[in-house]
Amino acid sequence: METKVILDTLWVVFAALLVFLMNMGFAALESGMCRSKSTVNIMSKNFIVFAVSTLGFFMLGWGLMYGDGNAFIGTKGLFFVSGADNSPNIGDTYEGVYSAISWAGVPLWVKFFFQLVFCGTAATIVSGAVAERVKYISFIVFSFFLTLLVYPITGHWIWGGGWLSQLGFMDFAGGTAVHSLGGWAALSGIMIIGPRIGKYTKSGKINAIPGHSVALATIGALILWFGWFGFNPGSTMAADPEAIGHILVVTNMAGIMGILFATATAWIKLGKPDISMSINGLLAGLVAITPGCAFVSVPSSLIIGALGGVLVVFASLFYDKMKLDDPVGATAVHLANGVFGTLAVGLFAQKGINGNEVNGLFFGGGLHQFGIQAIGIISVGVFAFILTSFLWLAIKYTIGLRVSIKEELNGLDIGEHGNEAYPEFIARKINYTHLLEDINLVEEERSKQQVKVCY
Amino acid sequence: METKVILDTLWVVFAALLVFLMNMGFAALESGMCRSKSTVNIMSKNFIVFAVSTLGFFMLGWGLMYGDGNAFIGTKGLFFVSGADNSPNIGDTYEGVYSAISWAGVPLWVKFFFQLVFCGTAATIVSGAVAERVKYISFIVFSFFLTLLVYPITGHWIWGGGWLSQLGFMDFAGGTAVHSLGGWAALSGIMIIGPRIGKYTKSGKINAIPGHSVALATIGALILWFGWFGFNPGSTMAADPEAIGHILVVTNMAGIMGILFATATAWIKLGKPDISMSINGLLAGLVAITPGCAFVSVPSSLIIGALGGVLVVFASLFYDKMKLDDPVGATAVHLANGVFGTLAVGLFAQKGINGNEVNGLFFGGGLHQFGIQAIGIISVGVFAFILTSFLWLAIKYTIGLRVSIKEELNGLDIGEHGNEAYPEFIARKINYTHLLEDINLVEEERSKQQVKVCY
Amino acid sequence: METKVILDTLWVVFAALLVFLMNMGFAALESGMCRSKSTVNIMSKNFIVFAVSTLGFFMLGWGLMYGDGNAFIGTKGLFFVSGADNSPNIGDTYEGVYSAISWAGVPLWVKFFFQLVFCGTAATIVSGAVAERVKYISFIVFSFFLTLLVYPITGHWIWGGGWLSQLGFMDFAGGTAVHSLGGWAALSGIMIIGPRIGKYTKSGKINAIPGHSVALATIGALILWFGWFGFNPGSTMAADPEAIGHILVVTNMAGIMGILFATATAWIKLGKPDISMSINGLLAGLVAITPGCAFVSVPSSLIIGALGGVLVVFASLFYDKMKLDDPVGATAVHLANGVFGTLAVGLFAQKGINGNEVNGLFFGGGLHQFGIQAIGIISVGVFAFILTSFLWLAIKYTIGLRVSIKEELNGLDIGEHGNEAYPEFIARKINYTHLLEDINLVEEERSKQQVKVCY
Amino acid sequence: MKQIKAIIRPEKLSDVRSALEELDCYKGITMTEVLGQGNQKGIVRSWRGEKYEIDLIPKVCIELVVRDEDVNRIKDTIIKNAQTGEVGDGKIFVINIDEVIRIRTGEEGLSAL
Amino acid sequence: MKQIKAIIRPEKLSDVRSALEELDCYKGITMTEVLGQGNQKGIVRSWRGEKYEIDLIPKVCIELVVRDEDVNRIKDTIIKNAQTGEVGDGKIFVINIDEVIRIRTGEEGLSAL
Amino acid sequence: MKQIKAIIRPEKLSDVRSALEELDCYKGITMTEVLGQGNQKGIVRSWRGEKYEIDLIPKVCIELVVRDEDVNRIKDTIIKNAQTGEVGDGKIFVINIDEVIRIRTGEEGLSAL
Ligand SMILES: Nc1ncnc2c1ncn2[C@@H]1O[C@H](COP(=O)(O)OP(=O)(O)O)[C@@H](O)[C@H]1O
Ligand SMILES: Nc1ncnc2c1ncn2[C@@H]1O[C@H](COP(=O)(O)OP(=O)(O)O)[C@@H](O)[C@H]1O
Ligand SMILES: Nc1ncnc2c1ncn2[C@@H]1O[C@H](COP(=O)(O)OP(=O)(O)O)[C@@H](O)[C@H]1O
């Protein structure tokens, strides 16, 4: 047994560190996809978000999520991961208050770190969506409560022995627990904070705001791809060769189909193979396969990835049409595909794959599992959307959510941080905005002063 | 035995992921070494190439390479890795159609993924060589067939139980199977596609076209260095401590000697320690040691690396003299040093190192092994060069190989992708070309129209 | 036992490679924090430094450090790691001349590689401190002797069975052996080489010289964070699940508290959450926890990290006040926090954590251990400072240490390397220096010629 | 002919340009990114604990060469659309042009505009 | 003295400069990266599914201050080498210069060129 | 009014600007990054083994519009502070300005400076 603990620990630590590296991937991707005047701000957000998440998840999040308790929240060993626990003992030999995760035969701190990097990912997803206008301190506060409260509660339902897991909800690596949760938090955020100045005009025009560095964005995407090989196969939390091999390949297949189909969709629909869509396609495929990666076959993963790749293009266009400004496409990637992927489990799951005992609709399992998946998606969605909306609004009416128009025009880097990302390079403003045409100024009419100082 | 499977799987997965990360290394290196107006294109190529390679290698490549068959190609279990296979059983207990790789005691999908990342590397090598002028779709098509057909066939000869492996050809981690193969495909490519506009003038002048970001290029090189520690030591496909340690050190030694000697050579010959040469020196040393890393001693690795470092400088100058425009030096690195390193096995191999049973020329083994190595190099070279030439030509005369002059002048990013890599930064064109002096325009005289629209 | 060797080897190789990747982290961080006109030079230094370190540590460093010998240096198996050794045998079964490290049950080359990446880190630290003015060749020569001689000798004292280890000096992962040693070498370097032109004026003004790319710097910091998870937990050199889990979490806790407290300190004291301080805060926390990561509890690590985060801000301001120009804050991070962290072991160490047998001051152990820590810090500091000062001065009076004023003004990239990092982007000189006000020109009065050609 | 050279705020460029394009006397424009200093204050930034002020503020310089009789309309259009009333709105300079040639055709004078 | 200010295509700069350097009346040049708009159409780009047009096209502005009698030769050389015949070749403007001073020596007038 | 346009070394900008700011006739400045070529030699660089020369050297162009009577003081201040005596110190050009308008207020003429 001792050897097994070591093997599992090596695997889980390795996987956790790959997921940790996704912090760098998101930082590069998100800043590359935004303007140079916000680079310091985005980098700062992505840099501090893991610090804040660690604090939130350590202080209370872990306990709420994995502490023994009721169907809705953990109630034991709540604070500072300090409950009784004799990990790496498992099964009957386990004695402690974190029994929902006692199946994993690794030391407690290893479990904690592995779960922490997942929690951090959910918080990072939000960062990109509200970028270029959210106040730094407000994002910090939001992330703290997200990781302290929101993520752990729905996490408890799904992975912590809560009601959804009892119901048989299947979410192997976090399509709902991590991605769509982060996506809902992002969605409520962009609805409440509003679009960037210059994005939508009163006359209904949608302005493209191109990212300032495709190099940075692509590097970020490649790092995320790399990290996902920890995210999905690592969720075994055990060094199981067959499962690891299977999930590795399934994950990659979905990712590449996401790339190929998003690229092709953009090429056909928009006329050129826009790289921003290829990147979003990769992530869409990876998100879509996340909940089901251990339960579906390789051919199914090709289909799921391909559908994810198509979906992300249309979702992006849809959000834009709804005037929901999401600079990096976080909602199109994580929300739309987190939902789709979770549903896909109910369609494509196959008995026997990695010991899975459920068949999806397409494999003769009927609509049963699909229904459960839908219940999970909706309940997590409603809960998360309401709670995060409340959080965003509470922040808005206390410390404020959005920087001033003047600061937004000059860039958050100078206003919020007193730094410039590239002080030596001469930049031009690509998106010369017709200021008085901008939809943001409608609501500003009340506060004329603000318009006054906006230049 | 079970434990050994787990250990080997952990090691192989870890190594495979390091090699996977080389995708990011190549993306950064290649785009950094080209102009900013091609950055989106290069990033897109390096991003989609692994997707295409996965498809090619999955659909047929794996079967051709590792399927049981004859001395030239695999014929069983050809499509979709769907042949019978009871991995991780090895040796006598193995039952299946991929017996050439049945020595590796890991699950089939792990084998597949490990081999896939090598296949992907070969395809990526080509990307840099034909950069800044090849059509995006044409590169995609070429990569597909390279990984579906060319790489697997020569791979079968070398690693799949084919005639070269029967002959005793030694290529531990792919100096010929991966690097020089990619190099030959690159060479035929740059011969057929021709140099970038502005590179060579009719009067014989060679214009330097500096890369747009040394930062990006160096980061890429450091990631490649990191990835190589998966590439070479991982090729054990088994968690063998002695072998891993030895190969790790030998690989690093060759790499650092490559850096030091290329830097010194450039310093002496060209007057300054040009970083582009230091980077190419690293890669040269790493490629040169790749085929022999398990068979040569640490002192030998120092020599091989040093020779690789010198070779790459002269090879770069030679290709330029031959008017073979290779923006990133892919041929000087992967072809010249892949060939050199494979020959070096015949010179430096030593009995007893990691169970090796052959002595090279310098250790009393005579010319025997050297001869076999030469046969392997030549046969793979001739085959790959002809087949890839045919592929490039077929593409040229169907969908076309090269973008229009106008598009090349404006940059492929806008023409092919409708994106700009750095839309906010003001860039200047470094290499103001004397258009009418350019050798490309000679062949254009036939098609005057094209010249007309070129501005 | 065999399985244990494999497990330990996998872990050590994995950890070593994470530390290796810190080369990329430092390269990105340091170049991002300096001006674009020095980018090629910094990248070149960080690229070649691992090559030089490998050579130095291979030729003699390893032998001096781990060879059996006296309390001050190793004397057996000195050159080329060629002493007798039957690793991975350990304990009584070990026969060889590197007994100080015979406790680690991995093959010799794995030990060597693991120690090498630490040695390389020490050399890299220096690189950032003397950046933007040191001659390339001079830095190469210094690094060679640092890794050949200085690092190994103090390393022998601490880890090689020398007098400090006999005394009971505790430095788990190298707060003194690596970080403060590198810091002392950096400090003597910046004292002898003097500040960059434009940094300090005769009238006492301190000019900020902002880094040219916050994106690059932040990416570098995130990679360093990732690498540190190899640095600290890897120093177990054994796949010990409990220890790995503990050290992982403790390291991360210190890092995040470093971020949070440095950010807050900067926000309060300087008015804005300057990202350069957040980054330095992370590194400060990580350095501070390095020596004690295996000996202190999680709560203690929170405190140590927080103190490190505050310390680094004040240390940065202090160095600037002393007119010690350290472009990237290497001394504030590695020296100040290496010293602080090593002392902190004497305060926070707790019996029982990972088999530790010593209590620090705060846990009832009295001042005993604190005293030993102080002795270690002082002796290593004095020795390293004197020896490296001597080295810098020897270089200064032979091949010269600093580039000419003209070259410094134009940037080292062109002068030293004949390259430009970003030849296509139009850059402006942010820090237009009042040349005749600069303190550097005082000492130049002697050599008027030099002033003449300086424009 | 006259060259009208205006230094304006970058945010105002779009408004100015679309207004100009509606004038029939508008023929073309050339624009440069510049840095300017006048009455407007700069912004303080910091790096590693030290503050520094960039008192040169990014502006856009637009140049239009127009017929003498169109100078006023162009001027007025620029003023109307670039004005915010805050310090830093910029300046317009008018300079005499001796000759204009269109490179494509070699035309000179008014028809080259 | 006159300032000859020409807006040309970036690709043509090398050809123009090497032709100018062969003239004995060539003394020096100052060049700026600019963006221009005239009859030439812009290029459409896209980002995340939305198209946008950059109708300001990168051009190079070269300025040479020359003696009055050399204006024509310079002008002709520029036209000859910058012309492609396609829309967007650019313009040449000639402006009168009152004074020229060489900073290095303080020389004024023609000898300062 | 006159426009004083000076091409100077980037390193000298700080010295020139702080000297100018001490003059009471100094009102504002606009600056552009330019590349210049004259008597000064370029620097040779290399890439992947091939050398290339960038003979266009980075310079800064400063423009000040001033009253006629202030031209000489400004000129002298620039010369004094931008001069190093080495080739490449740059040039000053003086150009006549017909009109000046302050966009913020619409003021014209001298009061607009
Ligand atoms: N005398 C001048 N010469 C050249 N440029 C000037 C002059 N005065 C102002 N400018 C330019 O006009 C811009 C705006 O001027 P400023 O004095 O700040 O605002 P305002 O004109 O509203 O008082 C400056 O940033 C500078 O580029
Ligand atoms: N009236 C003008 N004032 C200033 N610049 C102009 C004017 N007309 C044209 N330009 C500049 O000349 C460039 C080329 O002009 P364009 O009208 O596109 O081509 P062509 O002169 O061949 O018809 C423009 O991009 C712009 O920079
Ligand atoms: N005739 C000219 N027209 C326009 N710019 C010029 C001219 N001559 C020189 N310059 C500018 O002045 C700069 C310095 O000139 P240069 O001849 O190198 O030095 P110096 O004036 O000290 O002899 C050049 O880089 C160029 O920008």
| Ligand 2 binding pocket includes D29 (Cβ within 6 Å) | yes
Tell me how close the Cα of E35 comes to any Cα of chain F, in angstroms. 14
pLDDT above 90: percentage of residues in chain B: 90
Helix (H, G, I), strand (E, B) or coil at D37: strand
Q: What H or E segment, with its residue span, contains residue F57? A: strand F57-66
Helix (H, G, I), strand (E, B) or coil at B230: helix
Tell me what pLDDT residue E60 has: 95
C228 within domain boundaries: yes
| Distance in Å, CA E69 to ligand 2 centroid | 26
Above 70 in pLDDT, residue D44?
yes
Q: For residue F31, give the ligand nearest its CA.
A: 1
**Among residues A283, A285, A301, which one has the least CA distance to residue A347?**
A301
Enter the DSSP assignment of A443: H
As a whole number, mean pLDDT of residues A94-111 equals: 97
pLDDT at A432: 59
Note the pTM of the prediction, 2 decimals. 0.97
pLDDT(A455) > 90: no
pLDDT, position C443: 55
Ligand 1 mean position to E37 CA, how many Å?
Answer: 25
H-assigned helices in A33-95: 39-56, 62-66
Separation in Å, CA of E84 to nearest CA in chain F: 24
Predicted local confidence at residue F40, as pLDDT:
84
Q: Strands D99-102 and E91-96, how do they pair?
A: antiparallel
Per the DSSP assignment, residues forming a β-bridge with D43 are D54
Q: Is B156 helix (H, G, I), strand (E, B) or coil?
A: helix
Q: Is the CB of D104 under 6 A from ligand 2?
A: yes
In order, the DSSP letters of B311-366 are HHHHHHHHHHHTT---TT-HIIIIIHHHHHHHHHHHHH--TTGGG-----GGGT-T
Dist. CA D48 → ligand 2 center (Å) = 45
Centre a 10 Å sphere on the Cβ of residue C314 and count the other Cβ atoms it contains: 14
| pLDDT of residue D113 exceeding 90 | no
Percentage of chain B beyond pLDDT 70 is: 95
Locate the ligand 2 atom nearest the alpha carbon of residue E90 and give its number.
14
B267 within some domain: yes
Among the bound ligands, the one closest to the CA of E90: 2
- Cα–Cα distance, E57 to E44 (Å, whole number): 11
User: pLDDT digit string (tens) for B333-377?
Assistant: 999 999 999 999 999 999 999 999 999 999 999 999 999 999 999
Asked if E20 and E78 touch (Cβ cutoff 8 Å), the reply is yes
Q: What one-character DSSP code corresponds to residue A337?
A: H
Q: Is residue C302 part of a domain?
A: yes
Give me the residue label for tokens 């459960």. Answer: A372
Residue F14 confidence (pLDDT): 86
* Separation of CA B163 and ligand 1 centre (Å): 79
CA of residue D28 to ligand 2 center, whole Å: 5
Name which of B81, B167, B88, B82 is nearest B116 in CA terms.
B81
CA of F28 relative to ligand 1 center, distance in Å: 5
Q: Residue C380 corresponds to which tokens in the numbers above?
A: 């290593």
ipTM of the prediction? 0.96
Quick one: which atom of ligand 3 is closest to the CA of F86? Answer: 22
Task: Tell me if A317 is assigned to some domain.
Answer: yes
Please state, rounded to an integer, the average pLDDT across all residues of chain D.
92
Please compute the mean of the pLDDT values over residues A440-449 and round it to a whole number: 54
d(CA A124, CA B360): 54
Average pLDDT over all residues of chain A? 94
In our burial notation (b when 16+ CB lie closer than 10 A, e otherwise), range C399-436 reads eebbbebbbbbbbbbbbbbbbbbbbbbbbbbbbbbbbe
Kindly list the residues from chain F whose CB atom is less than 8 angstroms away from the CB atom of residue E17: 37
Task: Give whichever of A92-106, A436-450, D29-43, E31-45 has the largest mean pLDDT.
Answer: A92-106
* Contact (CB<8Å) F52/B280: no
Number of domains in chain B: 1
Calculate ∠ Cα C92-C93-C94, nearest 5°.
Answer: 90
Res. B449: pLDDT tops 80? no
- Give the range of the structural domain holding residue C236, as residue numbers without chain letter: 3-396
C198 token code pair = 């434009």
Query: Mutation test of ligand 3: which of F7, F55, F57 has the most ligand atoms closer than 8 Å to its C-beta?
Result: F7
- F42 CB neighbours in chain B (<8 A) are none
Q: What is the pLDDT of residue A406?
A: 87
Residues of chain A with pLDDT > 70, as a percent, come to: 95
CB D46 within 8 A of CB A419: yes
Please tell me if residue E56 touches chain A, with a CB cutoff of 8 Å.
no
- In F, which residues are within 8 Å of B329 by CB distance? 48
Tokens coding B367: 């010319």
Q: What is the pLDDT of residue C1?
A: 53
pLDDT the model gives residue C442: 59
Query: Distance between CA A152 and CA B337 in Å, rounded?
Result: 53
Helix axes C136-145, C108-129, angle to 10 degrees: 140
3-state secondary structure of A22: helix
Ligand nearest to the CA of F61: 3
Q: What is the pLDDT of residues E86-110, one digit of tens each?
A: 899 999 999 999 999 999 999 998 8
A270-315 residue pLDDT tens: 899 999 999 999 999 999 999 999 999 999 999 999 999 999 999 9
Closest CA to B10 of C132, A9, C313: A9
Taking an 8 Å cut-off on Cβ atoms, the answer to whether F47 and B317 are in contact is no
Contact list in C for residue F59 (CB cut-off 8 A) is none
pLDDT tens-digit readout, B12-67: 999 999 999 999 999 999 999 999 999 999 999 999 999 999 999 999 999 999 99
Task: List CB contacts (< 8 A) between D65 and chain E.
Answer: 91, 93
Q: What is the pLDDT of residues B95-115, one digit of tens each?
A: 999 999 999 999 999 999 999
Ligand 2 atom 7: residue of nearest CA:
D28
Residue E57 near residue E42, CB atoms below 8 Å: yes
Mean pLDDT of D55-69: 93
Q: Model confidence over B263-307: pLDDT tens digits? A: 999 999 999 999 999 999 999 999 999 999 999 999 999 999 999
Sequence-separated (6 or more) residues with CB below 8 Å from residue C232: C172, C173, C247, C248, C250, C251, C286, C289, C290, C293
pLDDT in tens, F51-106: 888 888 899 999 999 999 999 999 999 999 999 898 999 999 999 999 999 999 99
Q: Is residue B226 part of a domain?
A: yes
Residue with tokens 């679309």: D18
Kindly list the protein residues whose Cβ atom lies closer than 6 A to any atom of ligand 3: E 27-30, 63-65, 102, 104, 113; F 7, 36-40, 57, 59, 87-91
Q: Which of D29, D31, D67, D111 to mutate to test the pocket of ligand 2 (most atoms within 8 A of CB)?
A: D29
Instruction: For chain E, report the end-to-end CA distance as a whole number of angstroms.
Output: 9
pLDDT tens string for chain E (113 positions)?
A: 999 999 999 988 988 998 999 998 999 999 999 999 998 887 888 898 888 888 888 999 999 999 999 999 999 999 999 998 989 999 999 999 999 999 999 999 888 88
Residues of chain C contacting D51 with CB distance shorter than 8 Å = 208, 270
Q: Supply the pLDDT for residue C7.
A: 97
Mind listing the pLDDT tens digit of every residue in chain C (455 residues)? 589 999 999 999 999 999 999 999 999 999 999 999 999 999 999 999 999 999 999 999 999 999 999 999 999 999 999 999 999 999 999 999 999 999 999 999 999 999 999 999 999 999 999 999 999 999 999 999 999 999 999 999 999 999 999 999 999 999 999 999 999 999 999 999 999 998 998 888 899 999 999 999 999 999 999 999 999 999 999 999 999 999 999 999 999 999 999 999 999 998 999 999 999 999 999 999 999 999 999 999 999 999 999 999 999 999 999 999 999 999 999 999 999 999 999 999 999 999 999 999 999 999 999 999 999 999 999 999 999 999 999 999 999 999 999 899 889 999 999 999 999 998 887 665 677 778 887 555 544 444 444 44
CA distance C131 to chain F (A): 20
Give the distance from residue E95's alpha carbon to the nearest chain F alpha carbon, in angstroms: 8
Tell me the chain D residues in contact with residue E87 when contact means C-beta distances shorter than 8 Å.
104
Domains and CATH numbers, chain E: 2-112 (3.30.70.120)
Q: Does the CB of A425 have a partner CB in chain D at under 8 Å?
A: no
Q: Is the pLDDT of residue B446 over 60?
A: no
Pocket test for ligand 2, best of E5, E7, E11, E32 (most atoms within 8 A of CB): E7
Q: How confident is the model at residue B450 (pLDDT cuts 50, 70, 90)?
A: very low
Residues in chain D: 113
* Residue B271 at interface with chain F, using a CB cutoff of 8 Å: yes
User: Between A358 and A441, where is the model more confident?
Assistant: A358
Report CA(E12)–ligand 3 centroid distance (Å): 21
Q: Tell me the CA–centroid distance for residue D82 and ligand 1, in Å.
A: 13
CB pairs under 8 A between B and C: 154
CB pairs under 8 A between E and F: 75
Task: Tell if the CB–CB gap between E49 and A317 is shorter than 8 Å.
Answer: yes
Average pLDDT rounded to a whole number, residues B313-338: 97
Instruction: Please give the average per-residue pLDDT across B375-398, as a whole number.
Output: 98
Q: Which residues of B touch A248 (CB under 8 A)?
A: 13, 16, 109-110, 113
Whose Cα sits closest to atom 19 in ligand 3? Answer: F88
Residues 19-38 on F with a CB inside 8 Å of E are 32-38
Each residue's pLDDT tens digit, A167-222: 999 999 999 999 999 999 999 999 999 999 989 988 888 999 999 999 999 999 99
Contact map slice: E 36-75 vs F, CB within 8 A: 65
pLDDT at A447 over 50: no
E3 CA distance to ligand 3 middle (Å): 13
Chains with 3+ CB–CB pairs under 8 A to B are A, C, E, F
- Burial state string for C255-287 with b = 16 or more CB within 10 A and e = fewer than 16: bbbbbbbbbbbbbeebebbbbbbbbbbbbbbbb
pLDDT at A431 (0 to 100): 60
Min Cα–Cα distance to chain A from D106, Å = 32
Both tokens of residue B224? 């490649």
For residue B254, what are the contacts with CB-CB under 8 A and spacing of at least 6? B285, B286, B288, B289, B293, B301, B302, B304, B305, B308
Considering only residues 78 to 107 of chain D, which have any Cβ-Cβ distance to chain E shorter than 8 Å? Answer: 95-104, 106
Residue A280 is assigned to a structural domain of this protein:
yes
Looking at the domain assignment, is residue A385 inside a domain? yes
Look at residue C216 in the predicted model and tell me its pLDDT: 98
| Residue A185 included in any domain | yes
Specify the CATH number for the domain of residue C300. Answer: 1.10.3430.10
Of B420, B423, B435, the CB nearest to E11: B435
F41 pLDDT higher than 90: no
- Count the helices and strands in chain B (H runs, E runs): 19, 0
Residue type, F56: L
